[in-house]
């Protein structure tokens, strides 16, 4: 149960409403307060508001609200525990739920001017000691993930340098990305964005986790290069990225 103090602290960071089945956090610029139906694909399908989808392990939906384009994502488990419960998590307090934590992190970074999607709303559905969760974010227009870009054409040395400096700015702020890979980097209108901050956090400065982040990204490039030898990625490109990274004093 939330104490009054805890609830007040959360409301300072975002708008929060209690529903009959859980909680919804949302950006204070929304034209109306969301309901739990917003997180149901059938609701948007009935309104003929679904504009597309992205297929990964699970489906992410693109929806249109008023004149805005949004992305709707349900939280699913991974690993061995997925065989036991594919989308239920143990509830250990609202701020520790994955949708609320990601919403708060995105909200902080977006308000500070970082290149991340604008968070729209997060949903928590309680079920006894467990919860399920969803997140709606703003869709970045004209964006292509880095893997798709490298499959179609190479990046310039300056673009690799810019990407490295972009990542360094996040690290300088203390932003830990739990799954930094080529698919979670977007390029739109000559600007790089980081997406999917599930399990991300703002940490104290430590070169160990920053280097681990970079190594994870390199493994991602090498893995995709192994799948597709024609992928436009070389070790020279990685050095160009590192030069950009090192141009930002940590």
Look at residues 175, 207, 209 and name the one whose alpha carbon lies nearest to residue 193. 175
Which of the residues 87, 179, 198, 236 is marked catalytic? 179
Q: Are 77 and 85 in contact (CB under 8 A)?
A: yes
Angle at 184 between CA 178 and CA 187, to 5 degrees: 145
Euclidean distance between CA atoms 129 and 74, whole angstroms = 19
Look at residues 132, 193, 136, 125 and name the one whose alpha carbon lies nearest to residue 14. 136
Is residue 134 annotated as part of the catalytic site, yes or no? no
**Element containing residue 144 per DSSP (H, E):** strand 144-145
Euclidean distance between CA atoms 162 and 220, whole angstroms = 19
The CA-to-CA distance between both ends of the chain, in Å, stands at: 39
Report, as residue numbers or ranges, the catalytic residues: 179
């Amino acid at each position: 149960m939330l104490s009054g103090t805890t609830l007040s602290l959360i409301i300072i960071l975002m708008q929060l409403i209690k529903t009959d089945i859980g909680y919804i956090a949302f950006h204070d610029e929304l034209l109306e307060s969301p309901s739990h139906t917003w997180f149901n694909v059938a609701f948007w399908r009935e309104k003929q508001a679904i504009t597309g989808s992205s297929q990964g392990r699970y489906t992410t939906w693109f929806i249109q609200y008023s004149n805005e384009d949004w992305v709707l994502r349900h939280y699913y488990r991974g690993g061995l525990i997925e065989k036991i419960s594919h989308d239920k998590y143990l509830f250990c307090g609202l701020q520790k739920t994955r949708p609320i934590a990601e919403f708060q992190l995105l909200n902080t970074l977006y308000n500070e001017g970082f290149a991340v999607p604008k968070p729209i709303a997060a949903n928590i559905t309680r079920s006894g000691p467990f919860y399920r969760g969803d997140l709606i974010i703003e869709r970045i227009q004209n964006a292509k993930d880095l893997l798709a870009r490298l499959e179609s054409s190479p990046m310039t040395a300056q673009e690799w340098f810019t990407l490295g400096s972009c990542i360094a700015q996040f690290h300088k702020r203390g932003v830990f990305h739990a799954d930094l890979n080529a698919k979670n980097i977007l390029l739109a209108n000559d600007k790089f964005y980081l997406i999917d901050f599930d399990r991300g956090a703002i940490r104290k400065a430590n070169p160990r986790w920053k280097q681990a982040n970079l190594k994870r990204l390199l493994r991602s490039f090498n893995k995709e290069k192994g799948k597709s030898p024609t992928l436009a990625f070389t070790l020279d490109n990685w050095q160009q990225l590192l030069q950009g990274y090192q141009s930002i004093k940590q």
